[in-house]
Amino acid sequence: MAGSLNKVMIIGNLGSDPDIRSMQNGGRVCNLSIATSESWKDKNTGERQEKTEWHRVSIFNDGLVGVCESYLKKGSKVFVEGALQTRKWQDQNGQDKYSTEIVLKAFNGTLTMLDGRNDSQGQGGGGGGYQNNNQQNQRPMNNNQGGGQQQQAAAAAPVHDDFEDDIPF
């Protein structure tokens, strides 16, 4: 194989509200804690079993940070696509610690909201997505992952004429 691939895709629910912080360089970062779960029936006991994995996600794209800040909350269902990154840091005692997280940088990351508008329990349809393809302004996600100008609406909820929709996609 001529190259390598570092790509992670998860669908899960936020375990807490997005944590948005300012960095020293003036940019912002959004940290998410996303839970993915699997369940099965135990062959021996017949009991229902469940296992939950927690994933740390760091978003360094200001456009996506704004979407997280405005539209995500604890319990929101999201699809995230990024790369694994391990960083080294020191705790209060000077001991080296390592953290592995999913990172969405200023390009090649995707965040798709899978809940309906103002619905973190998955009751409504629709959703919207943003992806970074080395472009300054974020555009709605396109199912065609090729390059170029991508501007096609993501799967949309049924149109309701009784409310004003201020979501930017």
The CATH number of the domain where 56 resides is what? 2.40.50.140
* Any domain includes 160: no
Residue-level pLDDT at 128: 52
* Any domain includes 148: no
* Any domain includes 33: yes
* Any domain includes 17: yes
Residue-level pLDDT at 75: 96
Look up the domain containing 28 and give its range. Answer: 8-39+51-137
The one-letter amino acid at 109 = G
* Residue 5 exposure: Cα atoms within 13 Å on the Cβ side: 5
* Any domain includes 157: no
Q: Which residues contact 123 (CB under 8 A, 6 or more apart)?
A: 116
* Residue 78 neighbours by CB distance under 10 Å: 23
Residue-level pLDDT at 106: 83
Residue-level pLDDT at 141: 41
Specify the number of domains making up the chain: 1
Residue-level pLDDT at 115: 86
Which positions of the chain have pLDDT values less than 50?
Answer: 119-127, 131-162
* Any domain includes 21: yes
* Any domain includes 169: no
* Any domain includes 85: yes
